[in-house]
Amino acid sequence: MSGVGRRGFIGLAAGAPLAMGALPAWGQRADAGALLILFDPTMAASARLADQVRKHGAAVLALSGDRIRFMRDVVASRPRVIAGMTSYADFLLLSGTAAESGFRLDSHAQHRNITCATHRCFGRWRRADGMLDASADAWPEAMAALMTGAPPSPRTDAANPARPGIAATSWMLRRRA
């Protein structure tokens, strides 16, 4: 079983507040309808993120069908923040469609897992690289903590570890004021 050690958990706890920026403080929930998390049910890491986000009480929606029509429907539901974990190609389609409706890219992270997980984070999450690397196989759960403002979970889903060769992009879009 691969778990987050004491140092990794301390890294999670120390790095998350810096990376979260304007997200709700730990223990505080965002307003209803404020945050919507999208996930790709065909990606194991994305499904793990969705499971963790549900535990934190945030709204979760699985990607389906035509991505542009899907995102137009999502934007029409008027969330203030839309976040997700998808392939890079889906990220480009979804964020471009949302931009047409007044959303801007707030943060994104690129995840690569060839022989070990590597993460490159941008925007508000720019300081989260080390935290995600320290989370080892629990990086999808660590991304859920970043997205929702919940405390990071030291738990790793040993039955469904991140597979070598996966590539995912986590992202957060905010409605322009």
Task: Flag whether 143 is in a domain.
Answer: yes
Mean pLDDT of the chain: 74
Using the predicted structure, report yes or no on whether residue 42 has a pLDDT greater than 80: yes
Percent of the chain with pLDDT over 70: 64
The backbone torsions φ and ψ at residue 106, rounded to the nearest 5 degrees and listed phi first, read: -95, -50
Q: Helix/strand/coil (H, E, C) string of 76-107?
A: HCCCCEEEEEECHHHHHHHHHHHHCCCEEEEE
Task: Flag whether 158 is in a domain.
Answer: yes
C-alpha to C-alpha distance for 171 and 152, rounded to whole angstroms = 18
Residue 15: its pLDDT value, please?
42
Residue 18: its pLDDT value, please?
35
Residue 2: its pLDDT value, please?
39
If one counts every other C-beta atom within 10 angstroms of the C-beta of residue 84, the result is: 30
Residue 118: its pLDDT value, please?
59
Task: Flag whether 89 is in a domain.
Answer: yes
pLDDT tens digits along 26-38: 333 444 468 999 9
Task: Flag whether 1 is in a domain.
Answer: no
Q: Which of 63, 103, 99 is nearest to 79 (CA)?
A: 103
Task: Flag whether 149 is in a domain.
Answer: yes
If one counts every other C-beta atom within 10 angstroms of the C-beta of residue 78, the result is: 11
Question: Which run of H or E residues covers position 39?
Answer: strand 35-39
Using the predicted structure, report yes or no on whether residue 124 has a pLDDT greater than 90: no
C-alpha to C-alpha distance for 171 and 125, rounded to whole angstroms = 9
Residue predicted with more confidence, 117 or 120: 120
Task: Flag whether 62 is in a domain.
Answer: yes
Total tally of structural domains belonging to the chain: 1
Q: Which of 60, 56, 61 is nearest to 29 (CA)?
A: 56
Percent of the chain with pLDDT over 90: 34
pLDDT tens digits along 52-110: 899 888 899 999 999 999 999 999 999 999 999 999 999 999 999 999 999 999 888 87
Tell me if 149 sits within 8 A of 28, measured CB to CB: yes
Domain residues for 115? 6-175
Highest mean pLDDT among 92-101, 105-114, 151-160, 166-175: 92-101
CA dihedral angle for residue 142, residue 28, residue 94, residue 115, rounded to 10 degrees: 0
22: exposed, middle or buried (C-beta count within 10 Å: 0-12, 13-18, 19+)? exposed
Residue 113 binned pLDDT confidence (cut-offs 50, 70, 90): low
